[in-house]
């Protein structure tokens, strides 16, 4: 290879990766954006696509990279990746589990506390001048003694349940099968919702859980129940949720994820019984750095040994 010959590209970036991850990928692999790759001749030899920001990695992206061997996803959720199509083509996929468990579990627990104690609403109450005018905020609910139903008792669900138990909540759960835990198991999301004061959604996204929390689940939760979603917006039927809130069929919600991010239903924006967050479950400096390092570990492992550190499936 002469000095004028461009270095072969083995890694490309796809989607909304954080600046420091982009910098690392550029420094270590001279990894361009897929859109900036420069034509089919430059796509030859690309072995790894690093995907962030929920960017799609489906058949079209795989077609553009004929030598692709691995998709490395920045995030624990990978419903943006067509894993079935990747598997059919012999492409392996990784995500970033474990390193974000604590951050997301913390946020899930804090949202439960917020929706029951009305913390965000109380902040708005003070800022609006209502307190200074002599108005009284409404009474709220104790976390201690509340039944919190965890829908999806994986790593994050278990960590969130442990935190909520420390607050004095009674934990119930539903997963695809019962776990070896002391908490009460329910055989369906409807049964879990019916038993819960707060239903916390912590299932994976994807086709298998799309619309899992539907009108029937929300009706089972009831007019005194709250919904917390820190999983994926697709897991909750958003239209059914808006209707349930507007009709008083549930008491409120705490939402970190939405069906069409960053767009939030207009009907939710003015509601004091809903806490709205911009998908920040893992958005701490320490967690995002750990996720980025795990991405690099996966890329290194694949390029050096043809294997991944944290393969999915």
> 159 with 101: CB under 8 angstroms?
yes
State the catalytic residue, choosing from 186, 232, 238, 288: 232
CA angle 143, 148, 153 (to 5 degrees): 135
261 is catalytic: yes
Count Cβ atoms below 10 Å from residue 209 Cβ, excluding itself: 20
Strands 198-201 and 226-229: parallel
| The residue to which tokens 């690093």 are assigned | 50
**Strand residues in the chain grouped as ranges (E):** 11-15, 48-52, 70-73, 92-94, 147-151, 170-174, 184-185, 198-201, 226-229, 252-255, 274-276
226 is catalytic: no
232 is catalytic: yes
CA angle 138, 149, 218 (to 5 degrees): 70
State the catalytic residue, choosing from 23, 246, 261, 307: 261
* Alpha-carbon span 236 to 252, nearest angstrom: 14
State the catalytic residue, choosing from 42, 89, 271, 279: 279
Going by C-alpha positions, the residue among 197, 162, 189 that lies closest to residue 173 is: 189
- Active-site positions read 232, 261, 279
């Amino acid at each position: 290879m002469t000095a004028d010959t461009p270095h072969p590209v083995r890694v490309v970036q796809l989607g909304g990766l954080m600046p420091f991850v982009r910098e690392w990928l550029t420094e270590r692999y001279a990894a361009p954006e897929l859109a900036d790759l420069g034509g089919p001749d430059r796509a030859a030899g690309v072995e790894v696509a690093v995907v962030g920001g929920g960017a799609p990695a489906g058949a079209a992206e795989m077609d553009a990279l004929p030598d692709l061997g691995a998709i490395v996803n920045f995030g624990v959720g990978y419903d943006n990746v067509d894993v079935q199509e990747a598997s059919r083509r012999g492409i392996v996929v990784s995500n970033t589990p474990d390193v974000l468990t604590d951050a997301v579990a913390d946020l899930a627990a804090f949202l439960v506390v917020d929706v029951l104690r009305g913390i965000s609403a109380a902040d708005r109450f003070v800022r609006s001048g209502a307190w200074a005018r002599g108005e009284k905020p409404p009474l709220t609910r104790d976390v201690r003694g509340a039944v919190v139903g965890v829908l999806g008792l994986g790593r994050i669900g278990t960590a969130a349940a442990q935190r909520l138990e420390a607050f004095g909540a009674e934990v119930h759960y539903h997963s695809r099968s019962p776990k070896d835990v002391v908490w009460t198991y329910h055989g369906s999301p409807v049964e879990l919702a019916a038993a819960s004061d707060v239903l916390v959604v912590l299932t994976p996204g994807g086709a298998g859980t799309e619309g899992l929390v539907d009108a029937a689940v929300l009706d089972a939760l009831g007019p005194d129940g709250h919904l917390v979603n820190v999983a994926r917006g697709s897991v909750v039927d958003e239209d059914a949720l808006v209707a349930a809130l507007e009709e008083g069929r549930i008491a409120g919600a705490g939402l970190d994820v939405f069906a069409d991010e960053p767009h939030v239903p207009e009907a939710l924006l003015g509601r004091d019984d809903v806490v709205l967050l911009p998908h920040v479950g893992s958005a701490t400096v320490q967690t995002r750095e750990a996720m980025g390092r795990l991405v690099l570990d996966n890329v290194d492992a694949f390029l050096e040994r043809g294997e991944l550190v944290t393969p999915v499936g």
